[in-house]
């Protein structure tokens, strides 16, 4: 096997793949990247048996072939080479990399030891605009749980029907929902995709401006997109189990509604959070309907107190409610609208944050009981 490719292209692809390589692989070959040279292109793939990624890039292939090489070792070397062409030559299970005046050798493992990545090519794809998918991930993915003991909550719940596409994520304390009525399917579907896989997909999508093909069956999901450098594919195993019936958690009527500038509220929350972090990470919001303003406050006895007032349009009686500062900040950061609406009933009942205008996004956050 012998080929020549761009150092910049190769380094960028290896950097993307290296995040998927398992730290403690169950088999030595899973710490390697599968390198395949064919028909004037170079393929690279990594797989941990649950999450896999495959990318292609242009290359001048003199002799086709395949091998697996240590993924992080290869990435570290390629990233430090000068911006030039890299020649890769494989003989038996030894690889020689040549770039400028530098020559590097490394030992690999046979390509047939590497497990095959599921392709799902037989499944009819659902075409989703990249901008739409990226918007949905940014609006919801942050709310997925990181607690592996509640594995189903570590995923993003995706459902489609004649009413459109919906993303939802919850960790038990908050819930984010994004709805896309323009993307409909004749057959309803529901699946829960690991958030870890979708965070990698989100990084891939940031460099693309086209549609993405989405395939899935009962156990696997696969995303395929085309970039200027070539095709990229990510596949993952779906999470098993019943996702919570989150729609029932969202109130339909509210005693109080507050409209205010999103950036003003976010900036105030981040400043007050400096104090909140010193004690219990709790921020209090005092909704003053008479003065039409929201007062943010926090206190840390050993350090001090802080308060900021933000103009708002408030309907309903005045009330004081408390939230986890990070949860409140995360929700505000996920929205792009200039103005947002806060809707709530009593200080101990779920509150809803949503943008005014643009995409329909619902962010439910549970208040913290004030003692």
Q: What is the mean pLDDT of residues 286-293?
A: 96
The yes-or-no verdict on residue 139 having pLDDT over 90 is yes
39 pLDDT tier (thresholds 50, 70, 90): confident
Q: How far apart are the C-alpha atoms of 21 and 33, rounded to whole Å?
A: 8
Query: Per residue in 47-97, pLDDT tens?
Result: 999 999 999 999 999 999 999 999 999 999 999 999 999 999 999 999 999
Q: What is the pTM of this model?
A: 0.89
- Residue of 210 and 116 predicted with greater confidence: 116
User: What per-residue confidence (pLDDT) applies to 152?
Assistant: 96
Q: pLDDT band at 184, cuts 50/70/90?
A: low
Q: How many other CB atoms are there within 10 angstroms of residue 26's CB atom?
A: 10
Domain 126-248: top CATH class:
alpha beta
pLDDT, position 208 = 63
Residue 288 contacts by C-beta under 8 Å, 6 or more apart in sequence? 294, 295, 314, 318
Summarised one tens digit per residue, pLDDT across range 316-363 is: 999 999 999 999 999 999 998 999 999 999 999 999 999 998 788 999
Write down the domain spans for the chain: 2-113, 126-248, 250-365
36 sits in the region (left: phi over 0; alpha: psi -120 to 50; else beta) called beta
User: CATH number of the domain at 250-365, please?
Assistant: 3.10.150.10
C-alpha to C-alpha distance for 295 and 309, rounded to whole angstroms:
4
Token pair in block for residue 56: 């292609």
Average pLDDT over residues 99-120: 92
Confidence of residue 126 (pLDDT cuts 50, 70, 90): confident
For 261-282, write each residue's pLDDT tens digit. 999 999 999 999 999 999 889 9
| Burial (Cβ within 10 Å: 0-12, 13-18, ≥19) of residue 60 | middle
Q: How far apart are CA 123 and CA 80, in angstroms?
A: 40
Token pair recorded at residue 258: 């507050």
Give me the percent of the chain exceeding a pLDDT of 90: 76
The matching CATH number, chosen from 3.30.465.10, 1.10.3720.10, 3.40.1440.10, 3.10.150.10, for 2-113 is 3.10.150.10
Model confidence at 207: pLDDT above 80: no
Same fold, 2-113 and 126-248: yes
Per the CB < 8 A criterion, the answer to whether 359 and 178 are in contact is yes
Taking the C-alpha atoms of residue 263 and residue 296, their distance in angstroms, rounded to an integer, is 14
DSSP of 214-282, one letter per residue? EEE-SSEEEEEEE-SS-EEEEEEEPPPSPPP-GGGGS-S--SEEEEEEHHHHHHHHHHHHHHHTTTT-E
Query: How far, in Å, CA of 319 to CA of 51, rounded?
Result: 47
Residue 28's closest CA among 99, 104, 144, 113? 113
Q: How many CB atoms lie within 10 A of CB 334?
A: 19
pLDDT bin (cut points 50, 70, 90) of residue 32 is: very high
Q: Is the sign of the CA dihedral 149, 251, 319, 360 positive or negative? A: positive
pLDDT confidence of residue 273:
95
Digit-coded pLDDT (tens) for 145-165: 999 889 999 999 999 877 788
Distances (CA, A) of 331 to 7, 181, 198: 40, 22, 18
């Amino acid at each position: 096997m012998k080929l020549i490719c761009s150092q910049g292209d190769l380094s960028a692809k290896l950097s993307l793949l290296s995040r998927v390589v398992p730290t403690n692989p169950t088999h030595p070959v899973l710490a390697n990247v599968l390198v395949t040279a064919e028909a004037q292109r170079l393929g690279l793939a990594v797989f941990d048996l649950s999450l896999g990624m495959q990318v292609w890039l242009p290359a001048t292939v003199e002799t086709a072939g395949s091998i697996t090489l240590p993924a992080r070792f290869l990435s570290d070397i390629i990233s430090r080479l000068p911006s030039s062409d890299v020649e890769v030559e494989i003989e038996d299970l030894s690889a020689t990399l040549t770039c400028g005046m530098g020559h590097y050798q490394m030992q690999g493992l046979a390509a047939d030891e590497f497990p095959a990545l599921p392709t799902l090519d037989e499944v009819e794809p659902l075409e989703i605009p990249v901008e739409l998918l990226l918007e949905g991930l940014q609006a919801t993915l942050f709310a997925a749980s990181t607690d592996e003991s509640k594995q189903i909550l570590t995923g993003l719940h995706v459902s489609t029907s004649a009413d459109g596409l919906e993303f939802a994520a919850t960790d038990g304390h908050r819930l984010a929902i994004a709805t896309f009525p323009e993307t409909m399917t004749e057959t309803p579907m529901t699946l829960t995709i690991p958030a870890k896989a979708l965070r990698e997909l989100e990084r891939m999508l940031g460099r693309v401006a086209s549609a993405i093909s989405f395939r899935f069956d009962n156990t696997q999901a696969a995303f395929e997109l085309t970039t200027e450098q070539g095709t990229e594919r990510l596949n993952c195993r779906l999470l098993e189990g019943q996702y919570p019936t989150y729609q029932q958690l969202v109130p339909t009527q509210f005693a109080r509604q507050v409209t205010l500038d999103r950036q003003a509220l976010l900036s105030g929350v981040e400043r007050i959070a400096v104090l909140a972090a010193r004690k219990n990470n709790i921020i209090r919001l005092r909704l003053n309907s008479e003065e039409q303003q929201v007062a943010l406050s926090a206190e840390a006895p050993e350090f001090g107190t802080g308060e900021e007032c933000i103009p708002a349009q408030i309907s309903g009686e005045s009330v004081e409610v408390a939230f986890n500062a990070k949860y409140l900040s995360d929700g505000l950061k996920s929205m792009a609208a200039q103005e947002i609406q806060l809707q709530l009933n009593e200080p101990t009942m779920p509150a809803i944050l949503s943008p005014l205008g643009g995409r329909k996004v619902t962010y439910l956050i549970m208040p913290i009981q004030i003692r």
